[in-house]
Amino acid sequence: MTRYLLLVTLLMATPVLAAENCLKPKIDYQRDCAAISNLNNLPVLSAVDDCAIITLDARSHWNASGLRLEKNATYEFQLADDDTWCDASIVTNYKGWQVSKNGQAHGGSCPAECSKCRQGEAVNGPLVNKGKLGNALLELAGSFCRKPDSHYFALIGVVRGEMYDTRFEFSKQPTFSPKADAELCAYANDLSFMYGNNSGSITLKVTRLK
């Protein structure tokens, strides 16, 4: 009986992936990325070509993926241009949206409840024009986004382990090799107190390359 329990425990602790299947880790949408008591409890992609599918919620501050990235392994991140989510009425994808600098605008407006509406408009990230004053205010507010040097709503990755904490923009980081074991987290770049008007979700695929 004890031997059977040990086997079950081992199987649960180290999920084995079939080549055509991706792991779906248990995402915690409420937990702070740093508030994980034991990284070793999280599953890993143990072999090359193993993959995980992670659904990222626009309203979550961290999207704690439940997936542990391993030191010195290399991972590929895949996101789709036509996979969209919304910042209030602005529809965009993982690249986020920008404030118009010359009065031009394209895409981005969604008249009703946003989930996957007007796909395609957001391929390069919408350019939003709210008029001279509105744009100036948006630019100013943008400097208070959680990652001020990235676009509004750009998907930001956070990899946080013991003595290790790094953030990056997924659109500029198609592959990644962590310097320490850490959980992968991600969020839509926004003002900390402005997540309440976000909606929708996008999907991230993580594949181990080496």
Residues forming the site for Ca ion (CB under 5 A) = 87, 190, 194, 197-198
Token pair belonging to 184? 């992968």
Give me the least distance between CB of 199 and Ca ion, in Å please.
Answer: 9
Helix (DSSP H) and strand (DSSP E) numbers for the chain: 2, 13
Minimum gap (Å) between residue 49 Cβ and Ca ion: 36
Angle (CA) 82-86-87 rounded to 5° is 140
Tokens of 52: 């995980």
Both tokens assigned to 61: 């501050």
Is residue 135 classed as helix, strand or coil in its secondary structure?
helix
Nearer to Ca ion by Cβ, of 44 and 154: the residue is 154
Dist. CA 136–CA 148, nearest whole Å:
15
Tokens describing residue 192: 């900390």
Residue 198 or 201: the one with the smaller Cβ distance to Ca ion is 198
Taking the C-alpha atoms of residue 150 and residue 57, their distance in angstroms, rounded to an integer, is 19
**Phi and psi of 207, rounded to 5°?**
-125, 135
Q: Which is nearer to Ca ion, 34 or 191 (CB)?
A: 191
Shortest distance (Å) from residue 152 CB to Ca ion: 8
Tell me the closest approach of the beta carbon of residue 153 to Ca ion, in angstroms: 8
Q: How far is CA 6 from CA 3, 13, 17, 93, 191, in A?
A: 5, 10, 20, 44, 46
- CB closest to Ca ion, residue no: 194
In the complex, least distance from residue 86 CB atom to Ca ion, rounded to whole angstroms: 9
In the complex with Ca ion, the residue whose CB is nearer, 44 or 63, is 63
Considering the complex, state which of residue 58 and residue 206 has its C-beta at the smaller distance from Ca ion.
58
Nearer Cβ to Ca ion (169/183): 169
Smallest gap from residue 144 Cβ to Ca ion (A): 12
Residue 88 identity (one-letter amino acid)? A
